[in-house]
Chain A
């Protein structure tokens, strides 16, 4: 069970949250080639180590936020509101 630090509500139990996928994926422009859209929709890295993710505090303040989590150890390395940057070095 993870104790996830919501940037608004503070540390809360994992069952209050919904996972929202990779936070580093960039939406391509509307005129981007089909391959760019296919990569955006389907292609994801599967990193072993720190990973920037989106989470939704679905049973709490209903806010999306960014979370850096180590996929090997489940260590939480930081969280940030949507407009803000996750602290420290990017994975």
Chain B
């Protein structure tokens, strides 16, 4: 929910309060593809750029954005390409089988993992504090800059974090852990009040 939406829905927004204290909400992931390969081999990285219009990031825990497509670094040979639901259809994440075959021919691999994860947005002045209660990552901007991503644990659930803005995080967890992660998130956030969406 944007600040405009909050105003429209009658939730009071203090213009001097900076970002809203806290907003928790599930986000839909339309498409998520896992790319694997050796980025030091030019045929592979060139083919990825050719197919998806982005070069996968080679610096650990960073992301590259191309239009509505986001490439997240998962490991030295693994990336997640995500395309948020609601955004305009991106031709780069269509035709899965043709792209998989093209990547296979260049020493890479492609997996459709669209259904594997659920995503939550944690937004507001307390976002980093709420996550830090159950995650050992350092969420200070020095250690986790805007546009960065990192995998770690949230409670005892493996989670992938992405920081689109200084006071906004996207957390992705395996679908079967949805309720676990959501309950942990809500419990961590309870002391700050704020705007919590109904459970997914």
Contacts and interface: CB of A to CB of B under 8 A. Distances in A.
Given A8-B60, A15-B136, A62-B78, 4 more contacts: A8-B75, A12-B152, A13-B152, A61-B60
A10 to B, nearest CB: 8
11 contacts: A8-B76, A9-B60, A9-B61, A12-B137, A15-B136, A16-B136, A59-B151, A60-B151, A61-B74, A61-B75, A63-B75
A59 B158 CA distance: 6
B153 interface: yes
Interface size class of A (residues with CB under 8 A): 10 to 19
Nearest to A6: B60
Interface in A1-47: 8-10, 12-13, 15-16
Nearest to B154: A59
Interface string B74-118: 111010000000000000000000000000000000000000000
Given A9-B61, A15-B153, A63 B76 contact: yes
B32 interface: no
A63 B78 CA distance: 11
B76 A60 contact: no
Nearest to A11: B138
Contact of B152 (A8, A60, A62, A63): A60
B60 A16 contact: no
B136 A60 contact: no
A8 B60 CA distance: 6
B150 interface: yes
B158 to A, nearest CB: 5
A60 B150 contact: yes
Contacts of A16: 136, 152-153
A59 B153 contact: yes
B136 to A, nearest CB: 3
Interface string B50-76: 000000000011000000000000111
Contacts of A8: 60, 75-76
